[in-house]
Amino acid sequence: MGLLSDPYRRRALSRLILRLNTPLCILSYLAGLGWFLGLASLPFTLRSYMSENAMGSTMVEEQFVFGERALSYAREFAGHKKKVGGIPVAWLEKTMWNLGLEVYKQPFSRTLPFPDEMRERYMVKGTNVYGILRAPRAASTESLVLSVPCSTGQHNNQAVGLMLALASYFRGQIYWAKDIIFLVNEHDLIGMEAWLEAYHDVNVTEVLSSGMLGRAGAIQAAVSLELSSDVITSFDVAVEGLNGQLPNLDLVNLFYAFCQKNGLLCTIQGKLQRTDWDTLPAYVHSLQTLLLMVLKQGSGRPQGDHGLFLRYHIEAITVRGINSFRQYKYDMGTVGKTLEGMFRKLNNLLERLHQSYFFYLLPSLARFVSIGVYMPAFGFLILILVLKALDLWMKLSKCDAGPEEQLCDGDQGAVHAAAEESRPGLLTLVPPLLICHATGLTLYFLPVLGQHMATQHFPVSESEAVVLTVIAIYVAGLALPHNTHRVLTGCGSERGWMTLKLLSLLYLAMLLGCIALINFSLGFLLAVTMVPVAAIVQPKGPKYLYAVLLVLVTPAVTLLLSIVLYQELIEYPVSALECWQLFLQAVSEGLLDHYLYGSIVFPFIALFVYPCWLLLWNVLFWK
C-alpha cells in the first residue's frame, strides 16, 4: 500500500510510466511473445502424470481377442449401410439385441439456418441407435459411452465393427460397475447434439427429437472412435471441444498410457513426438504441435464428436485410427485391447475425473503446459493495454489541470475536471459507441435473416448469400468514421480521441481478459495481433501506415492468416485462391457452429471484438 499512498513514490511511478511507456510496451510485447514461444521448450513443460488414484494404481489385464469378429461385423455393416443408403437401423438393432444389449433408437430432425454446402445438408433427418450394457455389479447410476459416428461412404465402418465386437466381449465380463452405452450417431455432431440433449432432457439448440426411452446413469466419461481401415499404423487423439473446452488431462493421460502399454504409436495433432527433447528440431516440432493446438482450440470448433460431451460436464476424447505408409501395422486385436483397457480403468473410477488439469496446452502427448505457466504470456500482452491506458489517463488529467496550474500536493490526484469541460467530452463518445455496436448487431443478425432477400435479388445460393453478406457488412463498417464525424460537431480536440482511445483500450483489455479465461487460444490469437496496433494507433503521424496495420489485425484477417498458418503447419500449403475458398468456408462454418451447437466465437467477434476494433478505427480517423 505504501506504493499507492506515498506521494513521492507515486510520482516516481507515474513518471516512470509516462517516460518509459513505449519501451515498456515493446518489452512487454516481446516478453509475452517470447514466453508463448518458449512454452514448447523443456523448462516450461511438465511431464504428464496420472493424478486420479483410481486409475493410477490399479492394474488391468486386457484379453480382447475378437479382432477378426470386428472385421466381419464391419463388412456386414458396410453391406447393410450400402443397401439402406444410410444408417442400417434395423440391422444395428438386431445385432445389438443379439449381443444382449438393451437397444433403443432415437430419431431426430434439424433444419439448418442456411444450407451447409460443404456437407450438402439443409434439412437433416436421422436416427441414432444405441445399446446399453447393464452393469452386473452396480445399480445403473453411472455410465460410460463409446460412440461411433456413422458417416457417409466407406468411412468408419471398421469403427462400428470394433464397437460391436467390444460390446460382445464386454457382455461376457462380470466386472462392470458402470453401464456402458454403445452409440452409433448419424450426421456426426448434429446427431450427437440431439442424443445428448435427449439424454439430459434439455433443449438448448433447436434440434427436434423424440424423447429418450432408455437411459443409463450419469455419464462419467466418453470415448468417440473413428476408424476407417482394417489395420492402423497409429492412433491420433483429438481433445479440443466446443468453445475450446478441454477434457480433464487424466483422460488424455489414460489414452497415452494404454498406447504405451500396447506399443501403439500415438500422435496428437497428427504429430508424433520426438524422443530427443533438448535439440532445436525437437523444439520446433513441439512448437508446431502446440501452435496447431492453439489454432484448433482458438477456432472454438469441436475437433471430433467428443466435443459436445464436454458441455455436459462429461470428459471425452476422440480417438482416430490412422493408416499411413509406415511399415509396422497393428490389427484390430491391439486396437480393441487399448480401448478395453481404457474402459476398464474408467470403470474403476470412484468419482468424476477432477483431479488433473482442465486448462492446459499440449506440445506433445507426454508433456503439458498448465494454466499457471501459459497465462503470463497473455498477461504480458494485456499489460501493454493497461500501460497505454494509464499513460493516456495521466495525459488527460494533465491537460485538464492545465500547464500553469501547479499541482497542490504534487501527486497526480490533483485533477481539476471542470464539469463544463468534461461533460461534452463524454457525450461525444456516445455516437461512435452506439454506431459501432449497431454495426456489430447488424453483422450478427442480418446475414441469416436477410438470406432470402439476398437470394431473390442476386444470383447466389443461400449459403453464399450469408457469407457474402457477412463480408459486405464487415467491410462497410470501415466507412463509418466518415459518417460519424459529421454527427459529432465541435469535438475536434486532442481530448476527444484520447478519451475514445482510452475507452477502447480498456474495452479491448476486458474483452480479451474474459475470453482468455474461457478459451485461452482465442484470446491469445486476438491479443497477439490486435494489442500492439491498438496501442500505437492515433490520428496523428503516418495515418495510412496505421490504417494498413489496423486492417491487417482485424479479426477477419487474423482468421485468414490463421488458415494460412494452419495449412503450413499440417504441411499442406494452399494457393491464394484455395485459401480464399477456405476462408469463406470457415466463415460459414463459424456461423453454423454458432447456430447448431452454440459456439460463442461468432457472436463474440460480431458483437464485441468487431465494434471494439471499429472504435479504434474511429480513433484513427478522428477529426
Binding residues for other proteins, rule: CB under 8 A, are: 4-8, 10, 245-246, 310-311, 313, 358-359, 389-390, 393, 408-411, 413-417, 419, 506, 510, 513-514, 517-518
- Least distance in Å: CB of 517 to other proteins? 6
Residue with cell 447393410: 80
Nearer to other proteins, 148 or 389 (CB): 389
Q: Which of helix, strand or coil describes residue 153?
A: coil
Name the E strands within 121-194.
Answer: 121-133, 142-150, 179-186
Distance (Å, whole) CA 331 – CA 340: 14
Query: Distance between CA atoms of 576 and 328, rounded to whole angstroms?
Result: 38
Closest CB 242 distance from other proteins, rounded Å:
10
Q: Which is nearer to other proteins, 89 or 239 (CB)?
A: 239
Q: 3-state class of 425 per DSSP?
A: helix
Residue 570 Cβ, how far from other proteins at the closest point, in Å?
Answer: 27
Region class of 493: left (phi > 0), else alpha (psi between -120 and 50), else beta: beta
Shortest Å, Cβ 5 to other proteins: 4
Q: Which is nearer to other proteins, 409 or 571 (CB)?
A: 409
Shortest approach of other proteins to residue 529 CB, angstroms?
22
Would you say 18 or 60 has its CB closer to other proteins?
18
Residues with Cβ within 8 Å of 57's Cβ and at least 6 positions away in sequence, in order, are: none
Nearer to other proteins, 219 or 559 (CB): 219
Closer Cβ to other proteins, 30 or 204, answer by number = 204
Q: How far is the CB of 313 from other proteins (least distance, A)?
A: 5
We find the least distance from the C-beta atom of residue 221 to other proteins, in angstroms, to be 13
Closer residue to other proteins (CB): 415 or 453 = 415
Collapsing DSSP states into helix, strand and coil, what is residue 593?
Answer: helix
Query: Which of residues 122 and 359 has its CB atom nearest to other proteins in the complex?
Result: 359
What lies within 8 Å, CB to CB, of 528 at 6+ separation is: 32, 33, 36, 381
State the nearest-atom distance from the C-beta of 384 to other proteins, in Å: 15
Report how far residue 512's alpha carbon sits from residue 378's, in angstroms, rounded to the nearest whole number.
9
Choose between 414 and 564: whose C-beta lies nearer to other proteins: 414
Strands 265-268 and 271-272: antiparallel
Of 316 and 467, the one with the shorter C-beta distance to other proteins is: 316
Smallest gap from Cβ 510 to other proteins, in A, equals: 6
Cβ 621 vs Cβ 482: under 8 Å: yes
Asked if 540 and 556 touch (Cβ cutoff 8 Å), the reply is no
DSSP code, position 330: B
Strands 367-370 and 142-150: unpaired
User: Residue 282: enclosing H or E segment and its boundaries?
Assistant: helix 280-299
Sequence-separated (6 or more) residues with CB below 8 Å from residue 288 = 271, 569
Of the candidates 356, 310, 365, 315, the residue with the CA atom closest to the CA atom of residue 52: 356
Q: How far is the CB of 365 from other proteins (least distance, A)?
A: 20
> Is residue 436 within 8 Å of residue 451, measured between CB atoms?
no
Map grid coordinates 470457415 to a residue: 586
| E-assigned strand segments in 351-436 | 360-361, 367-370
The residue (of 62 and 315) whose beta carbon lies closer to other proteins is 315
Cβ distance to other proteins smaller for residue 176 or 380: 380
d(CA 614, CA 432): 9
- From residue 303, give the alpha-carbon distance in Å to each of 73, 317, 351, 580: 27, 9, 26, 22
Residue placing its CB nearer to other proteins in the complex, 399 or 514: 514
Shortest Cβ distance from residue 342 to other proteins (Å)?
A: 21
Q: CB atoms < 10 A from the CB of 117, how many?
A: 16
Question: Minimum Å distance from CB 126 to other proteins?
Answer: 27
Closest CA to 612 of 458, 477, 421: 477
Q: How far is the CB of 581 from other proteins (least distance, A)?
A: 34
Exposed, middle or buried by CB within 10 Å (0-12, 13-18, 19+), for 313? exposed
Query: Distance from CA of residue 518 to its chain's centroid?
Result: 9
Q: Report the nearest approach of other proteins to the CB of residue 206 (Å).
A: 15
Q: Which is nearer to other proteins, 4 or 174 (CB)?
A: 4
Q: Which is nearer to other proteins, 507 or 610 (CB)?
A: 507
Q: CB of 514: closest distance to other proteins in angstroms?
A: 5
Q: Report in angstroms the alpha-carbon separations of 433 from 328, 379, 438, 480, 613.
A: 61, 27, 9, 11, 11
Instruction: Write down the number of H helices and E strands in the chain.
Output: 24, 13
- Closest listed residue to residue 231, CA positions, set 326, 352, 368, 117: 326
314 vs 563 by CB, closer to other proteins: 314
Q: Which three cell numbers stand for residue 424?
A: 461534452
The distance of closest approach from Cβ of residue 501 to other proteins in the complex, given in angstroms and rounded to an integer, is 15
Report helix, strand and coil shares of the chain as percent, to nearest 5. Answer: 60, 15, 30
Radius of gyration of the CA atoms of the chain, in A = 28
C-alpha cell belonging to residue 127? 436416427
